[in-house]
């Protein structure tokens, strides 16, 4: 197993997509609000998701230069979105937001782990 991503652009792409998500989450559009409300996530805790995703972006970018940090960040993103999948399934909120956003992010993070670090 390698501790620096190769190809590096997979990890950079994951960081970029998460950074866009962070920016959108600051003043969430309707589909993000619907998603968070749909899974029953309390509004007073929405800020924590911004912090978590921001830390993931920083970890992914730092991980392009420092061995192991990107790997740990990628695994953290996988755990985050796996938890989101569980929340969606438990709340039976399986609309477009689940299939595109939640599973899309999870698939990108898993692809980053598999093709950036393991193969």
- Output the pLDDT for position 91: 95
Per-residue pLDDT, 83: 96
The pTM assigned to this predicted structure is: 0.93
What is the per-residue pLDDT for 1? 61
Work out the end-to-end distance of the chain between its first and last CA atoms, rounded to an integer number of angstroms: 8
Non-local CB neighbours of 71 within 8 Å, separated by 6+ positions: 3, 5, 63, 113, 117
Other CB atoms within a 10 A radius of the CB of residue 99 amount to: 11
Q: How confident is the model at residue 3 (pLDDT cuts 50, 70, 90)?
A: confident
Query: What count of other Cβ atoms lies within 10 Å of the Cβ of residue 88?
Result: 21
Domain coordinates in residue numbering, the chain:
8-118
In this prediction, residue 66 carries a pLDDT of 93
pLDDT digits (tens, 9 = 90+) for 50-102: 999 999 999 999 999 999 999 999 999 999 999 999 999 999 999 888 898 89
Q: Which residue is associated with the tokens 């959108």? A: 24
Q: What is the pLDDT of residues 8-21, one digit of tens each?
A: 999 999 999 999 99
Q: Which residues contact 107 (CB under 8 A, 6 or more apart)?
A: none
């Amino acid at each position: 197993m390698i501790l620096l991503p190769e190809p590096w652009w997979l990890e950079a792409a994951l960081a970029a997509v998460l950074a866009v998500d962070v920016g959108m989450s600051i003043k969430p559009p309707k589909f993000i609000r619907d998603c968070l409300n749909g899974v029953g996530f309390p509004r007073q805790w929405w800020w924590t998701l911004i912090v978590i995703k921001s830390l993931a972006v920083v970890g992914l970018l730092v991980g392009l230069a420092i061995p192991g940090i990107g790997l740990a960040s990628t695994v953290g993103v996988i755990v985050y979105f796996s938890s989101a999948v569980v929340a969606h399934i438990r709340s039976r909120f399986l609309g477009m937001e689940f299939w595109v956003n939640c599973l899309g992010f999870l698939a990108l993070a898993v692809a980053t782990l598999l093709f950036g670090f393991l193969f």
